[in-house]
Amino acid sequence: MSHPIEDLQRISVKFPLAMGCEPELDGVIPVFHRWIQDRAVDGMLIDVADYAHVPQGPGVMLIAHEGNYALDLDRGRLGVLYARKQPLAGDLEQRLAAVCCAALRAAELLAGEGEQFRIAGDQLEIAANDRLLAPNDADTDSAFRPVLDRLLDRLFDGAAHELCRDEDPRERFNLHVRASSGADAATLRQRLA
């Protein structure tokens, strides 16, 4: 029997910034406003939400109808995040890939704004933003890992990777991925295309 996670739509992916990259959060505000003007990333872009004042918070967000982009600082880890809100077409692996691509496209554009925005390229954090379909437990884990493994093989071009999960049942189902080798945002995105 299939696991409900097969129906998961609310997926969030974050690509942490490279070591030593610590941009001022405020610096991304004009960038996101420009993206809205230029329709630089996918989605119906609505507004910029500034949470730079919140310690270890969501940083600066670009709110879109389909999903939110952010230069995110949750739990003190800086990264480029995309959190999907509206349904996507395709099976779970295709949806995961689409969410990764959206985050990577944002990462690619941000990298163009300066070296300080460069992602590490060998890590990502995935969360299932839906506690009904994907409770943070071993069942979800075993249903999700094969799908994720297939995606990671493509993303990291077959490089070995480690996964770890915060097992607190109150947390969203989450996996932190670290690969033995990485690439820049554009390359990673091409691999998923």
Partner 1 sequence: MTTWKEKLADQMPEEWAREIDIFEKQMELRRQGKVEEKLFAETRLRRGAYGQRYDNGKRNDGTGAKPLDYPSGDLTKGPETVWDAPGMQRIKIPFGGLNPEQMDVLADLAEEYSDAICHVTTRQDIQLHYVHFDDTPTIMRRLAAVGITTREACGNSIRNVTACPLAGVCRDESFDVTPYAQATMRFMLGHPDVQDFGRKFKIAFSGCRQHACGLVSLHDVGAIAVTKEIDGEPQRGFELYVGGGLGAVPQQAVLFDEFVAEGELLPITQAISRVFARLGEKRNRARARLKFLVKKLGVEEFKRLVLEERKTLPHDDAWTAYLEELPSYGEKALKQAEPLAAGEQAQRFERWRHTNVYRQRQEGYCVAAVTLPLGDLTSHQMRALADIARRYVGESVRTTVEQNIVLRWVRESDLPALHAELEELGLGEPGAESIVDVVACPGTDTCKLGIASSRGLAAELRERLASKQFELDQAVRDMRIKISGCFNSCGQHHISDIGFYGVSRNVGGYAVPHFQVVLGGKWVDNAGSYGLPIGAVPSKRIPDVVTVITDAYLRERESGESFQAYAERVGKKALKEKLSDLTKVPSREEDVSFYSDWGDPREFTIGDMGAGECAGEVVSLVEFDLSLVEELVFEAQLALDAGDLEAVTEKTYRAMLQGAKALVKMQFHDVADEPDQIVAEFKQRYFDTEIFFDRFAGGKFANYLFRRHESHEQAASRADARELIEEAGLFVEACHTCAAKVGSQPGAAEKTSSDSTVVTLEI
Interface with partner 1 (CB under 8 A): 4, 7, 10, 26, 29-30, 33, 36-37, 44, 46-58, 61, 63, 65, 68, 74-76, 85, 129-133, 170-172
Strand residues in the chain grouped as ranges (E): 11-16, 45-51, 59-64, 67-72, 79-84, 123-128, 161-164, 173-179
At position 3, the amino acid (one-letter code) is H
- C-alpha–C-alpha distance, residues 44 and 49, integer Å: 15
Shortest gap between Cβ of 149 and partner 1 (angstroms)?
25
In the complex with partner 1, the residue whose CB is nearer, 84 or 191, is 84
- C-alpha–C-alpha distance, residues 32 and 28, integer Å: 6
In the complex with partner 1, the residue whose CB is nearer, 43 or 121, is 43
In the complex with partner 1, the residue whose CB is nearer, 59 or 121, is 59
In the complex with partner 1, the residue whose CB is nearer, 134 or 179, is 134
Shortest gap between Cβ of 96 and partner 1 (angstroms)?
18
Shortest gap between Cβ of 142 and partner 1 (angstroms)?
19
Shortest gap between Cβ of 12 and partner 1 (angstroms)?
9
Residue 181 DSSP SS3: coil
DSSP string, 137-150: SHHHHHHHHHHHHH
Phi, psi of 11 (to 5 degrees): -115, 140
In the complex with partner 1, the residue whose CB is nearer, 54 or 164, is 54
Radius of gyration of the chain (CA): 16
Shortest gap between Cβ of 76 and partner 1 (angstroms)?
8
111 neighbors 119 (Cβ within 8 angstroms): yes
